Amino acid sequence: MNKRMLLAAVAVLALPLPSLAQTAPDVAKLRDAALQDDTAAWDIVEGLTTEVGQRLAATDAEARARAWAVKKLTALGFQNVHIETYKMPLWVRGAETAEVVGPSAQKLTIAALGNSGTTGPAGVDAEVAYFPTLADLQAAPAGSLKGKIAFVSHAMTATQDGSQYGYYGGVRRSAPNLAASKGAVAILIRSIGTDYHRNPHTGVTNWADGVKPIAAAALSLPDAEQLERLLKRGPVRLKLLVTPQFKGQAESGNVIADVPGSDPSAGIVLIGGHLDSWDLGTGAIDDGAGVAITTAAAMRVRAAGQPRRTIRVVWFGAEEPGGFGGEAYAKAHANERHVLAMESDFGADRVWKFETSLPDAAKPIADRLAAALAPLGISRGRGAAHGGTDVGPVIQTGVGGVDLSQSGLRYFDYHHTPDDTLDKIDPAQLRQNVAAWATMLAIVANAPEDIGPVPAHQGE
């Protein structure tokens, strides 16, 4: 560094700006306190999963969860706590059994996919048509699956960023519709997961207009591989019984809670997770942890003093069957000025990376985040923040965000299974999440910069 550069750097450091030098001590204190001792997040996820349990969207259980949430958030000191309801289609699980018939007769472990059709009470008995990948099913001729049960496999593996879920999740999302369009009477898929326990992974599937839903279920990984071995020995027939029901329109809702800011013109920082869960487990990592982490972080920022911007915590309803809560929120609050939107919906294991999407004028915020999050072992990523299903509709209007990426190495062992229970949450890693979120919120909610819309081409 030459003399001129050195003098310029000293001059910049001497300026009386609301810079990192001024905010870092308070942020560091807040961060370190959360890392060492946080009971709020654990109390929230423990209470939700114990006192309510599973929370299938648009059912009485989800309604009980909303009532529980209002009582809890009010007791925790949030303001403007209320429920905003909306209507959506209701799907409920029925009986689900599968068994190989013939010389190798044996039972297989399955779980119906959300929005699955039914076999009817008598079930179906049919030959299996095997497809190693979704691409193989796509290549099957029209009508070639008439009267058969399709079976689609794949080879998803665990990764830190969970990126394989995007690709292999296509098997769950689109294979049932594709098999139905080619004449199949039912379909089984290898669970979209990475564990080797007899815990099948559920999750939503989608049907195109004009395609009648067929019975669609996921096999646990051990059962999927067992079926593959049987198919190598010759044709396999299955007896399948899957009897879910579509119950018409029912009520779901979002629970809203605010930490009011001192400057209403500075906008709203939207955070949260989803309140609903699938019905196999108790929704601890998906997404009781997410609502707990974001809520506890907001409480820590509030305790440090009134933030400049309003922090709005939303416990979104009906994320699992298709993001109904996020869409309803964006529509209901379209006239409010949101400046950032973020969610936690990837379990409770440690945050390892952050990425931002900010307008040019607010880019210094990202530098302050990098310095404040580094002591937590969180590095700055090279991509742009994209949010998730719940805040996605708000982000699509041009609102920026911050992604705090959690480790996905364990997540898909438990995701959408009966094993999604409280014991899968590591308290120490939960605290690290709260510390990361509290640090981030303290910086963005108090940032002196104006945080305007993010152009479509722009991102950190």
Positions annotated as catalytic residues are: 319
CA pseudo-torsion sign 59, 64, 70, 73: negative
DSSP of 50-100, one letter per residue? III----TTSHHHHHHHHHHHHHHHHTT-EEEEEEEEEEEEEE---EEEEE
Residue 437 CA to residue 373 CA, distance in Å, equals 9
Residue 54 CA to residue 421 CA, distance in Å, equals 10
Residue 319 CA to residue 321 CA, distance in Å, equals 6
Residue 318, helix vs strand vs coil: coil
> If we measure between CA atoms, which residue out of 176, 169, 59 comes closest to residue 116?
176
Burial 393-418 (b: 16+ CB within 10 A, else e): bbbeeebbbbbbbbbbbbbbbbbbbb
Residue 254, helix vs strand vs coil: strand
Distance of CA 432 to the CA centre of its chain: 18
Q: With left for phi above 0 and alpha for psi between -120 and 50, is residue 109 left, alpha or beta?
A: beta
Cis peptide before 349 (omega within 30 of 0): no
> If we measure between CA atoms, which residue out of 215, 248, 205, 242 comes closest to residue 115?
205
* Per-residue tokens: 391: 């805040």
Residue 254 CA to residue 277 CA, distance in Å, equals 14
Residue 320, helix vs strand vs coil: coil
For the chain, helix (H) and strand (E) counts, in that order, are 13, 16
> If we measure between CA atoms, which residue out of 348, 207, 222 comes closest to residue 291?
348
Using the structure block, give the residue that is written with the tokens 């079926």: 227
